[in-house]
C-alpha cells in the first residue's frame, strides 16, 4: 500500500467519524408515553413538570397533541377545572410502550375510555401530586429520584394469611439520598385490599408531603409508610 493510498483511507475514516450520529436520548414524546404508561393518568402541567422542566409549557402541549394525532394518547377534561386535560394512553399507545426497557416487569393498564379516566382521576392525580412534591424536592437537594422512580399500585402479601390477603400501597418510591444510602419508601394514599373484599382506609397525604423531610428516620426498616 502506497503512502498516498494510506492517506486517502485515513481521510475517509476521518470523514466517516465526523458524520453526525443519531441521538441516544429519548424524545419528549417517548418520555411522556412512558410516564403515562406508569402513572396511568396525568394532567398537562404534571407531565410538563416531569418531561420538560425549565421549558415553556407550550412545548409539552405540542408534544402531547402530536401523540394524540397519532392515536397514541387521549385525554379527558376534568370537571370544575377550567378545561384542564388529564392524559392517558390509548390501546395503541399501550401496545407501543409495553415493550420499552424502562417499563420492564410492569403492567401497562391505561384507562379504557375517557369516562373511566374521569372516574379514576381524583385518586390517581392525588397520588401523582405526592410524587411531584418528592420530585421537586429531590431536584433542589440533588438527590437521585426521577419521574419513573414512583411505582403506583404495588401489592404486598400479608404474612400468615396463606397468600389470600394483601396490602396494595398506592405507590413505592425508589429514592437515593446522595450523601447517605439507597432507600426505599412506600407511600400509602388510599386503600388496602384483601381476598375477602375491599377494606376502605382512605387518607390523603397531599398536604403533608409538600413539606415532607427526606432526612433518614430512626426506624430500622427501609420501608416507610406515609
Tens-level pLDDT at each residue, the chain (226 residues): 555 555 555 555 555 555 555 555 678 999 999 999 999 999 999 999 999 877 888 899 999 999 999 999 999 999 888 889 999 999 999 999 998 999 888 888 889 999 999 998 999 999 999 999 999 999 998 999 999 999 887 766 667 666 667 777 778 888 888 874 444 444 445 444 434 444 333 333 333 333 344 444 433 333 334 4
| Residue entry with cell 402479601 | 157
Which pLDDT value is given to residue 5? 53
Handedness of CA 11, 13, 16, 22 (dihedral sign): negative
| pTM for the predicted model, two decimal places | 0.67
pLDDT, position 31: 94
How many Å apart are CA 135 and CA 51, to the nearest integer? 12
Could you tell me where the beta strands, DSSP code E, fall in the chain?
Answer: 42-43, 73-77, 85-89, 150-157, 166-176, 182-187, 191-194, 197-200
Rounded CA separation 70/76 (Å): 17
171: left (phi over 0), alpha (psi -120 to 50) or beta: beta
Give domain limits for the chain.
26-209
The fold adopted by the segment(s) 26-209 is Arc Repressor Mutant, subunit A (1.10.10)
For residue 222, the model assigns a pLDDT of 37
Cell of residue 140, nine digits = 433542589
Amino acid at each position: 500500500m502506497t503512502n498516498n493510498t494510506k492517506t486517502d483511507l485515513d481521510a475517509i475514516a476521518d470523514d466517516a467519524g465526523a458524520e453526525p450520529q443519531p441521538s441516544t436520548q429519548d424524545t419528549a414524546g417517548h418520555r411522556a408515553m412512558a410516564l403515562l404508561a406508569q402513572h396511568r393518568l396525568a394532567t398537562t402541567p404534571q407531565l410538563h413538570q416531569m418531561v420538560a422542566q425549565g421549558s415553556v409549557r407550550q412545548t409539552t402541549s405540542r408534544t402531547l397533541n402530536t401523540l394524540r394525532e397519532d392515536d397514541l394518547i387521549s385525554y379527558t377534561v376534568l370537571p370544575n377545572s377550567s378545561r384542564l386535560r388529564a392524559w392517558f394512553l390509548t390501546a395503541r399507545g399501550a401496545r407501543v410502550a409495553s415493550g420499552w426497557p424502562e417499563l420492564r416487569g410492569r403492567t401497562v393498564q391505561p384507562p379504557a375510555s375517557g369516562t373511566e379516566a374521569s372516574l379514576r382521576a381524583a385518586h390517581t392525580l392525588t397520588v401523582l401530586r405526592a410524587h411531584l412534591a418528592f420530585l421537586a424536592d429531590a431536584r433542589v437537594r440533588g438527590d437521585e429520584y426521577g419521574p419513573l422512580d414512583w411505582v403506583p399500585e404495588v401489592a404486598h402479601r400479608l404474612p400468615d394469611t396463606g397468600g389470600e390477603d394483601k396490602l396494595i400501597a398506592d405507590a413505592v418510591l425508589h429514592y437515593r439520598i446522595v450523601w447517605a444510602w439507597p432507600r426505599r419508601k412506600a407511600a400509602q394514599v388510599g386503600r388496602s385490599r384483601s381476598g375477602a373484599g375491599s377494606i376502605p382506609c382512605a387518607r390523603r397525604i397531599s398536604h403533608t408531603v409538600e413539606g415532607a423531610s427526606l432526612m433518614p428516620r430512626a426506624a430500622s426498616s427501609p420501608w416507610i409508610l406515609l
